[in-house]
Structure 1
């Protein structure tokens, strides 16, 4: 009898460093450390400590689940790069999971808009239909709402500022919720994708709007011959 797959998941798309281990339906371990910086240095030690506590090694892993955002630009790159490297080294799938998927995890299937918090009290929205993304995510400013989104035919809004967005778009049902159990949900979503999909594209950062950081204004150095 084949053993249930062992999945390592992790996320650094927000001000945290989070990881989990899932075997089949059983959550073996989950750790989240709040931090605004230093994720690149802390991510691998957290995962190694967690696996050592469970008596498993990198060679035991069957798949990687990784958070792809939207979120902090640098944080997303840290996790995605780590996932790609581990998958390449171990010759196992790396499966990207978006924050939209994390937010709607556990909800009944329908046609809904999922809302992820964005900087300056704005949000990112994505339409889901029967549990799967049905359109590309968009940036949404509640102070200048794009009412054209009403044509999407969503029956509810899930996530950040759900009640406000539902009111703006004339949608009857709102289910406010926040990001929770992030690494565990990434692992469970990745496990479903592993079981139902045969082709797993390499995870890639989900960027919806440009970075806020401006390029340096200093003059470039003079190159001497």
Structure 2
């Protein structure tokens, strides 16, 4: 059985920032963001502890964790997801992964629109897109060229494109376009997690969301064998 009016600690390091927020009794009671190109791994835990202290909460007062899973910076996303997994295990509470696509949607009405394409900026002018219906993903995310969206992206009725270069993507389909940016990230992650929990969702172990392979390939050689002394 879920918790009524849960206390949720949300955080994200999927871009050049370290962001965190606390939702309690359906309201954001504390939030912080620090802009940084690197150093998120060292900055995250002190930020979370300071945020809890700010509203006189301890780790034991949390019911859920919510974490941004990207797509975003490869290393940054892994930092926050690993932290969420470790904290969830130590605190024995669930952790909820929230994608950047969900963050881009309207948190005031997360389940409102029936046929929506959400677009996020990708490297080299491309876009990551994913289809949503009433707040739920309806397809796997994919990489497209915003000025030449593929025909199979078309939705039959009430199609809306929201996010990065929404006008360009919507134009060939005669769809509604709604510009949006990734902002208030930790607050939105907390609110989306709260909405999903209210829908009866059972949290699963969060994992990074990668739309394309990481730029850095893993080493091809096997690690050295460590012999017992």
Q: Same fold (TM over 0.5)?
A: yes
Q: Aligned ranges for residues 5-84 of structure 1 at < 5 Å?
A: 5-84=6-85
Deviations 1:58-93 (A, max 9, x none): 111100000000001111110111111111111111
Residue matched to 2:176: 173
Aligned pair in 2 of structure 1 residues 68, 152: CA closer, same or farther (>3 Å)? farther
What is the RMSD computed on CA atoms of the aligned residues?
2.4
Aligned pair in 2 of structure 1 residues 136, 154: CA closer, same or farther (>3 Å)? farther
Spell out structure 1 runs of 4+ moving beyond 6 A: none
TM-score, with normalisation over the residues of structure 2? 0.88
Residue matched to 1:196: 199
Which moves more between the two structures, 89-98 or 150-159?
A: 150-159
Match of 2:129 among 117, 122, 125: 125
Q: Quick check: 1:156–1:171 contact (8 Å CA) kept in 2?
A: no
Structure 2 unmatched ranges of 5 or more: none
Deviations 1:112-155 (A, max 9, x none): 10001111111110001112111111111235532222256561
TM-score, with normalisation over the residues of structure 1? 0.89
Deviations 1:8-39 (A, max 9, x none): 00000011000001102111101111101000
Match of 1:162 among 139, 162, 166: 166
Aligned length: 220
Q: CA deviation at 1:213?
A: 3.2
Structure 1 unmatched ranges of 5 or more: none
